[in-house]
């Protein structure tokens, strides 16, 4: 469903990711790990189409379509979703406003959106008072991640790139996140989970694990690779 083919990424004239390739099929969960500064977030931004993170070589394909040069909104329309490591604050646009706008843009009926948002907020443990505040404005780290989870639950994207989605979440929040990942994977969605700490993987079993260091994939394996990193860190892998 998502294919990254020999992708190199440049930021401000500097190459930060070099020749990365992987494929994620329907229902698969691929984990991307690596030390800080290894290029994980840069790769995520480039896949999603952030204008400052340029794909200078290679291709990104979604359902077989080359979407490398499409802007983020067009990639989102095709079912790609980026769960930000550090969600930005947007003054003047509430989570409720955002949900209504997205539903309208997709040609879906706006009636019932508020009720759906309220019900989903209750599921993810997000206070109702935050739904009408500026998006992520004054939210705690955990509240920002619950806000991202709420958006993903509403949109039901086909392919999700999650950049450290469990950071800032308490144990219950991590379990809710894991339940969502397992449920959507079971429905055929694919996931790229980017993490520095393997806590989430106590609840989610990946199809494949990749280790990125200095912008290059240095190792590839299964859950045993996560266990090795938990014991020994990245010694011998980077």
Give the pLDDT confidence score for residue 181 in this predicted structure. 96
Residue 83 near residue 162 (C-beta atoms within 8 A): yes
The answer to whether 110 and 103 have CB atoms below 8 angstroms apart is yes
pLDDT in tens, 210-228: 999 999 999 999 999 988 8
pLDDT at 53 over 80: yes
CATH of 2-87+142-149+156-232, one of 3.40.50.1000, 3.30.70.260, 3.20.20.70, 3.40.50.300: 3.40.50.300
Nearest-angstrom CA–CA distance, 204 and 142: 19
With contact defined as beta carbons under 8 Å apart, do 61 and 70 qualify? no
d(Cα 88, Cα 111) in Å, to the nearest integer? 28
Structure tokens at 66: 């080359």
pTM: 0.93
For the segment 191-203, the average pLDDT, to the nearest whole number, is: 86
The pLDDT score that the predictor gives to residue 67 is: 97
CB 6 within 8 A of CB 57: yes
Whether the per-residue pLDDT at 198 is higher than 80: the answer is no
- CB distance 62 to 159 below 8 Å: yes
Q: Give dist(CA 206, CA 126) in Å, integer.
A: 27
The answer to whether 44 and 55 are in contact (CB under 8 A) is: no
- Position 102 scores a pLDDT of 80
Beta strand 80-83 pairing with 159-163: parallel
Instruction: Please tell me the predicted confidence (pLDDT) of residue 110.
Output: 63
Residue 50, CB-side half-sphere exposure with 13 Å CA sphere: 16
d(CA 146, CA 131): 11
CA dihedral 36, 40, 44, 47 (to 10 degrees): 150
Q: Over range 86-100, report the average pLDDT.
A: 88
Tell me what percent of the residues of the chain surpass a pLDDT of 90: 71
- In this prediction, residue 105 carries a pLDDT of 73
Per-residue pLDDT at 236 exceeds 70: yes
User: pLDDT tens digits for 114-153?
Assistant: 888 999 999 999 999 999 999 999 999 999 999 999 999 9
Q: Which sequence spans correspond to the domains of the chain? A: 2-87+142-149+156-232, 89-138
């Amino acid at each position: 469903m998502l294919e990254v083919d020999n992708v190199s990424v440049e930021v401000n004239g500097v190459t930060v990711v070099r020749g990365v390739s992987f494929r994620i099929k329907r229902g698969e969960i691929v984990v991307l790990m690596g030390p800080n500064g290894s290029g994980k977030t840069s790769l995520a931004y480039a896949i999603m189409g952030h204008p400052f993170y340029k794909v200078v070589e290679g291709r990104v394909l979604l359902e077989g379509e080359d979407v490398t040069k499409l802007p983020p909104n067009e990639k989102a329309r095709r079912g790609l979703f980026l769960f930000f490591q550090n969600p930005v604050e947007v003054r003047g646009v509430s989570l409720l406003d955002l949900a209504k706008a997205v539903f309208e843009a997709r040609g879906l009926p706006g009636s019932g959106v508020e009720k759906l948002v309220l019900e989903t907020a209750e599921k993810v443990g997000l206070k109702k008072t935050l739904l009408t505040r500026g998006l992520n404005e004054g939210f705690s780290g955990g509240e920002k991640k619950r806000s991202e989870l709420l958006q993903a639950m509403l949109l039901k994207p086909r392919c999700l790139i999650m950049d450290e989605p469990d950071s800032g979440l308490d144990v219950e929040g991590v379990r809710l996140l894991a339940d969502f990942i397992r449920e959507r994977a079971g429905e055929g969605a694919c996931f790229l989970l980017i993490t520095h700490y393997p806590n989430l993987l106590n609840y989610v079993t990946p199809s494949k694990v990749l280790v990125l260091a200095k912008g290059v994939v240095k190792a590839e394996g299964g859950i045993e690779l996560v266990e090795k990193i938990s014991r020994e860190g990245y010694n011998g892998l980077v």
